[in-house]
Structure 1
Amino acid sequence: MRLIATAAALAAAALAAGPSVAAERLTGEAKLAKMLEGRVAGEPRSCINTFTNRESTVIDETAVVYGRGRTIWVNRTANPDDLNRWDALLVRQHGPQLCRQDIVTTFDPSTGMYTGNVFLTDFVPYTRAD
């Protein structure tokens, strides 16, 4: 009987915490804004060097961010609603640069299943302000 009461109390606590936790979850735009705090946008470019910008972060329904450190590159893509942070990116690029015409396919890394395509646009550099 004590076990049932404890389980019921834990379930009630979880239900009570659910909405507040969900309310704290940031939207894609809010996550991107947080990443860009203290940075200044530069001139958009059609290509970026992938040797120095290997890391990428997919922000739900918003953008793909490349690089880290002083300058990061934001690509809002032609179809940002199709971006899902759980998807992995498979990039088919021609040479050492990633360009807006390169083909990017998304897939679920846990199953390997194809989930869609991403159509890149210009890359906007955001550099930390001094």
Structure 2
Amino acid sequence: MSQFAKMLVGLAGAALVASCSAPAGQQTRSPEAEQELSKALAGRTAGKPVSCIGNFRTSDMQIIDDWTILFREGRTVYVQNPHGGCPGISSGSNTLVSRLYGTNRLCSGDINHTVDLHTGIGGGSCVFSAFVPYTKTGG
């Protein structure tokens, strides 16, 4: 193997190691967002994560921060923490757009997009993780 080829293999290996060891975006929740999430989940118990939930209207969705989206269905609130967050969703000027292909469900792995409500211009993307149901306990 030539010296140049050895150098390329070494650089590729170093890049691979660096990409695996670099810390993922840290989830940081403001005290206000933490309080809002606690209030929304008060009196509820976490259940086993599910892969999919029914499609929801915007009025059934609550944005806590760029890391946390809640979907409400009766006595259950589903907590969604998109992989890597959903940059810009909590700004108040963006909305979440989900394109459903052949289904009426939101699922883990779905790619969703943010769109500026005033200009209609697309922003970032986010990938849904599993949904954690929190169910109201008691009467």
1:91 partner amino acid: S
Cα separation, partners in 2 of 1:68 and 1:48, compared to 1, 3 Å = closer
> TM-score with structure 1 length normalisation?
0.71
Q: State the 1:103 CA deviation.
A: 1.7
What's the counterpart of residue 97 of structure 2?
A: 90
1:30 partner amino acid: Q
Contact 2:47/2:132 (<8 A) preserved: yes
Q: State the 1:68 CA deviation.
A: 4.1
Contact 1:29/1:62 (<8 A) preserved: no
Q: State the 1:49 CA deviation.
A: 1.5
> TM-score with structure 2 length normalisation?
0.67
**Which of 57, 61, 65 in structure 1 is aligned with 2:62?**
57
Q: Flag structure 2 segments of 5+ consecutive residues without an equivalent.
A: 1-29
1:79 partner amino acid: G
Report the aligned-residue RMSD: 1.8
Contact 2:46/2:132 (<8 A) preserved: yes
Measure, in 2, the Cα distance between the counterparts of 1:88 and 1:76.
Answer: 16
Aligned length: 104
What's the counterpart of residue 50 of structure 2?
A: 45
Q: State the 1:27 CA deviation.
A: 2.4
| Shift >2 Å, 4+ stretches | none
**Which of 66, 75, 78 in structure 1 is aligned with 2:80?**
75
What's the counterpart of residue 111 of structure 1?
A: 119
Three-state SS of the structure 1 residue aligned to 2:48 is: coil
Three-state SS of the structure 2 residue aligned to 1:93 is: coil
Q: State the 1:79 CA deviation.
A: 2.0
Cα shift readout 1:67-124 (whole Å, capped 9, x = no counterpart): 2430111101112262324120110123021101222100110111212011110000
